[in-house]
Amino acid sequence: MLGGHFAVPSAIQLPLRAYNPDRRDFVLAGLFRTAEAKIQKAEAVREKQRQNVIPKFLHITGNGTLGAVVRAPSVERASREWMLAELDAQIASGEQTNLQAITQVEQLEEAGKKESAKWKELATGAVELQRKLSVLQARRDCLAARQESLAHPKNQRDQPQKKLSRGGESVGSSGN
């Protein structure tokens, strides 16, 4: 009933995009749109924080010594929030640049040029970008933990201090 000879199965060569759907053009375009939206949002927050800190700083410089002492903590808090927003904007921009670099490296791999000088240059650049992003993220985490620590009463600062010490270790060991 069932019989006969069957051909030996052989491998079928598929294009990379067929078996790795994350590299399809519309997926990459979506990633780039998301990265651009993240940059715009981070820049808007950064600008808002900048506009928040400048009047406070100008107000503190225009008053006498007592007024400056009273208002100094609010200026310091606002400037830390501005620094966080600045780091967030730098991280968002770095992530987009890193995505572009990785995409170029992957395109060269797809074209079979993995051992070329161009591929090595782009891959090395992508690794350097990733390291810089790690340092920026660690700095941001340290600043956020420090800010969180200062927001708690002195007797409840243990958890943020642990985060801060871990963040300091990662920044210190990053080599930058």
In a domain, 176, yes or no: no
Task: Let me know: does 104 contact 50? Beta carbons within 8 Å.
Answer: no
pLDDT, residue 165, reads 63
pTM above 0.75, yes or no: no
Closest CA to 149 of 168, 136, 162, 166: 162
Check whether 176 has a pLDDT greater than 50.
Answer: no
What is the H or E stretch that residue 138 is in? helix 117-151
Closest CA to 167 of 131, 143, 132, 133: 143
Check whether 152 has a pLDDT greater than 70.
Answer: no
In a domain, 8, yes or no: no
In a domain, 108, yes or no: yes
How far apart CA 24 and CA 93 sit, in angstroms, is: 23
Q: What is the pLDDT of residues 131-143, one digit of tens each?
A: 999 999 999 999 8
How far apart CA 64 and CA 57 sit, in angstroms, is: 13
Q: How many domains does the chain have?
A: 1
* 124 token code pair: 């090395």
Check whether 123 has a pLDDT greater than 70.
Answer: yes
How far apart CA 93 and CA 41 sit, in angstroms, is: 11
Q: Please state which of the ranges 73-82, 123-132, 144-153, 164-173 shows the lowest mean pLDDT.
A: 164-173
In a domain, 84, yes or no: yes
Radius of gyration of the chain measured on its C-alpha atoms: 25
- From residue 12, alpha-carbon distances to 15, 16, 19, 29, 139 in Å are 10, 12, 12, 28, 48
- Other Cβ atoms closer than 10 A to 166: 13
| Range(s) of the domain holding residue 150 | 24-168
In a domain, 105, yes or no: yes
In a domain, 14, yes or no: no
Task: Let me know: does 52 contact 76? Beta carbons within 8 Å.
Answer: no
In a domain, 175, yes or no: no
In a domain, 12, yes or no: no
Average pLDDT over residues 151-164: 62
Q: What is the pLDDT of residues 16-50, one digit of tens each?
A: 677 777 878 888 899 999 999 999 999 999 999 88
pLDDT, residue 95, reads 95
